[in-house]
Amino acid sequence: MNRVRRISKPERIIVFKASTAVNELGGSLCKVGLGKSAVILLATIGTALTAGPSKFDGEFVDKKFLNGQGVFEFIVHQSGTALDIAFDAAYSDGHGGPPDATGAGKVNGKTAQFTWKGSFDDTATGTISLAGDDIVVSMKAVHVANPSCLAFYRQNMKLKRTGKK
């Protein structure tokens, strides 16, 4: 069903047709007795089903990692449900081998799973959970080539968004 609005000026008439899928569908459903409440319900369900995954994009950091002894930085790039991750960490005084790694994963609602490989050939699996605007990252080492990096592969690391998205 089209709604027509006419705006007239002394020398012109402009016709605007405003038709939407909801108006068309609503009119059809009303004719078969389902009513406009069914249209609202269908629109709500459709919106919920087509809503995109939670957004993980951003740069995150813990500047007081390991009780203030180090820094842990984590970057996430999300495209649909696919993730690319990268991280690096280091002791504040520079000792030890600072790990860095890249990996990939997949979003599932408000969590994501990923795998990565580090610069020392360490490998691990992990999860990311949304915590407001921040994230919580947990890692489980699969292969450790450099044991000095183990201190950086932890569970439940709360990382704050740095403001860059």
Mean pLDDT within 144-159: 93
Same domain, yes or no: 45 and 65: no
Same domain, yes or no: 78 and 138: yes
Query: What DSSP letter does each residue of 26-86 carry, written as one string?
Result: HHHHHHTT-HHHHHHHHHHHHHHHHPPPPP--EEEEEEEHHHHTEEEEEEEEEETTEEEEE
Q: What is the pLDDT of residues 4-30, one digit of tens each?
A: 444 444 444 444 344 444 444 444 434
The whole-angstrom separation of Cα 116 and Cα 103 is 4
Mean pLDDT within 114-120: 95
Q: Is the pTM of this model over 0.85?
A: no
**Number of domains the chain contains:** 2
pLDDT of amino acid 65 = 96
Range of the domain at 121: 58-161
Same domain, yes or no: 91 and 14: no
- CA R_g for the chain: 26
Same domain, yes or no: 108 and 40: no
Question: Which two structure tokens, joined as six digits, stand for 131?
Answer: 């915590």
Same domain, yes or no: 100 and 33: no
Quick count: other Cβ atoms within 10 Å of Cβ 3? Answer: 10
